[in-house]
Structure 1
């Protein structure tokens, strides 16, 4: 995978060089103008967090198109230019963002504030739980395959969302001291919403006798499950590129749902949810969405859905799953 990203990076940088678009932006403050900060994020969660904090004091761009899957994202020359010319760049970090490190290494980032979300929280390694389908390893990895692979879906815990939001706020306050009070007020208000969300999830779990959830899909909710003391079973790890589980994996999940009388089997956003539907048909459990918030559809974006509203929908479905 790193070889693919490296090839993409080289092609993009070549285009930038021949078009003369690889230089840092001019700072218009020399002309006495009032700049609007430019923030670029790779995916939806930091886009939403930054929007909540920065309000109308920044222009915020998300590279991932609405409805697109982040694990297959490939940057365009225009994307690289946006990163090159921004004041703040926020990305996840980890194996899925290997292309970012290569591109940043090629740029002068001395005037850019860079936030890697996986560094804002205690990261955990991806794990294979009982019954889960392991991902096939690519050939030629050698020793690199033995390096720990960290779960990149750090935002799925509201407590982690608070830590990431505070990191964004601190960076904005440092960059734009004239609006420090504005950012701090927005951060305080948003943190209250996230704290209330965290409390809602804790109450749902505390008031439920069941502590097990089943995903007929990838499982990008490790941080969420750890935060609320939930056990989980799933078809694949969170960053798996596999889509078709083996018969033995499906049988294991069907048996688990039947033996523990689990009422809900989850699928994630942008999934064809065929596996969850199959398990549902075999067991009578209801197939429901649990949204990891990594991206939103164009419809959701047009309707103004955000991290908090989506997670509230998750809370309602979780309550049904744990009853």
Structure 2
């Protein structure tokens, strides 16, 4: 039985996506102050990437520092100041990032001249599953457990997005962890209980829902800047065509699959992919990104591997690889493959200048095709 090495998890995924420059002269950056007047601030990597494709001639900044996901991350006072000085603030939606919700309330209470744009407005969000709800509550009682079911200590250098952005060589207080964050430091950074209520927030992994979000952003920018409405609409249409092509690529590549179930050795952030392309996702834990798997979770995963003859385990890039390593060692699974809800970028992805579409094509699709026997 082959044992997965950490390098395999990051190696295939380490062809990377960055805060990408948007089309038609837009730029997207992560952190740092911008003195320009035409600035749009964003609360999360994916929405900053979408916005950068829509907002021509404007600077788009992801407020969350590179290497953080922005879900458990807490901003300093300068972040609110940057938003109040901006023309627009794009965030995922109420309940996704508590700190962003506070900023939105402050903007509205101050009657600030900042256009607030909710990326998931009107989008049909999947409900949380029974396992998600039950596991989230169950985790609180086991948050102090050390090792789980004989699993190894978390190997240094691995980390995720659904808690939401990521970077190498930093400690990550994010929704889904990242490289060089130990299980202990990752868990410690998630002090808040990130409860999304009864909804699964990871809508952007469905290209069709992502297109609705792009429209929301374009509409919001047009309300902020009516003189350039046609430009925002044109840019949005161009990016939506790219998302349509992404969707068609997934449909074609996964249509000949031999399996219909995948196992994710992390939190349950990939259901939108499963729904869109008609396969079932089993996950080690629920929606909470900072969840630590219990021995019961590991035993359940072992049963899933046996029942569905799973050869490849999907390991979220920005989460601990400890459980994936254990499952490969202790079952008939032979390898762990990288998968990500695209909360942020690794150093390698950033160096390549990748965005959301690039990561979906070059990291997630190859791993899903292999795990589903669609190669």
Question: What residue in structure 2 maps to residue 271 of structure 1?
Answer: 319
Question: What residue in structure 1 maps to residue 372 of structure 2?
Answer: 322
Bigger Cα Rg: 1
Alpha-carbon distance change, 146 to 63 in structure 1, aligned in 2, over 3 angstroms: closer
Question: What residue in structure 2 maps to residue 21 of structure 1?
Answer: none
Give the alignment's Cα RMSD to 1 decimal.
2.6
Shift of 1:268: 1.2
User: 1:130-155, CA deviations, whole angstroms, 9 ceiling, x for partnerless residues?
Assistant: 9x84443769xxxxx99943222221
Normalising by the residue count of structure 1, what TM-score does the alignment of the two structures yield? Answer: 0.79
Which residues in structure 2 correspond to 1:64-83 (within 5 Å)? 64-83=64-83
Q: Contact 2:305–2:333 (CA<8 Å) still a contact in 1?
A: no
Q: 1:157 aligns with which of 206, 221, 235?
A: 206
Q: 1:188 aligns with which of 227, 237, 253?
A: 237
2-structure distance, mates of 1:289, 1:40: 30
Question: What residue in structure 2 maps to residue 239 of structure 1?
Answer: 288
Q: Contact 1:153–1:221 (CA<8 Å) still a contact in 2?
A: yes
Aligned: 1:307 with 2:308: no
Shift of 1:176: 2.5
The unaligned stretches of length 5 or more in structure 1 are 1-34, 140-144
2-structure distance, mates of 1:300, 1:291: 12
Shift of 1:85: 1.4
Shift of 1:281: 1.9
Q: Contact 2:127–2:198 (CA<8 Å) still a contact in 1?
A: yes
2-structure distance, mates of 1:307, 1:231: 23
Of 216-225 and 201-210, more deviation after overlay is shown by 201-210
Question: What residue in structure 1 maps to residue 119 of structure 2?
Answer: 117
Alpha-carbon distance change, 291 to 234 in structure 1, aligned in 2, over 3 angstroms: same
Which residues in structure 2 correspond to 1:96-115 (within 5 Å)? 96-107=96-107, 108-109=110-111, 111-115=113-117
Normalising by the residue count of structure 2, what TM-score does the alignment of the two structures yield? Answer: 0.69
Alpha-carbon distance change, 171 to 147 in structure 1, aligned in 2, over 3 angstroms: closer
User: 1:21-47, CA deviations, whole angstroms, 9 ceiling, x for partnerless residues?
Assistant: xxxxxxxxxxxxxx8532111110011
Alpha-carbon distance change, 302 to 240 in structure 1, aligned in 2, over 3 angstroms: closer
Shift of 1:94: 4.2
Question: What residue in structure 2 maps to residue 227 of structure 1?
Answer: 276
Normalized per residue, the structure richer in helix is 1
2-structure distance, mates of 1:126, 1:301: 32
2-structure distance, mates of 1:43, 1:70: 6
Shift of 1:97: 1.9
Three-state SS of the structure 2 residue aligned to 1:119 is coil
Three-state SS of the structure 2 residue aligned to 1:111 is coil
Question: What residue in structure 1 maps to residue 336 of structure 2?
Answer: 287
Three-state SS of the structure 1 residue aligned to 2:326 is helix
1-structure distance, mates of 2:220, 2:62: 18
Question: What residue in structure 1 maps to residue 152 of structure 2?
Answer: none
User: 1:193-246, CA deviations, whole angstroms, 9 ceiling, x for partnerless residues?
Assistant: 100111122223332132211111112122222222221111112324222x12
Q: Contact 1:214–1:266 (CA<8 Å) still a contact in 2?
A: yes
2-structure distance, mates of 1:251, 1:233: 13
2-structure distance, mates of 1:104, 1:201: 36
Q: Which has the higher contact order (CA 8 A, sep 6+)?
A: 2
1-structure distance, mates of 2:122, 2:317: 25
2-structure distance, mates of 1:246, 1:238: 15
Q: Contact 2:39–2:86 (CA<8 Å) still a contact in 1?
A: yes
Shift of 1:322: 0.6
Alpha-carbon distance change, 262 to 127 in structure 1, aligned in 2, over 3 angstroms: same
Question: What residue in structure 2 maps to residue 87 of structure 1?
Answer: 87
Alpha-carbon distance change, 103 to 54 in structure 1, aligned in 2, over 3 angstroms: closer
Q: How many residues align?
A: 282
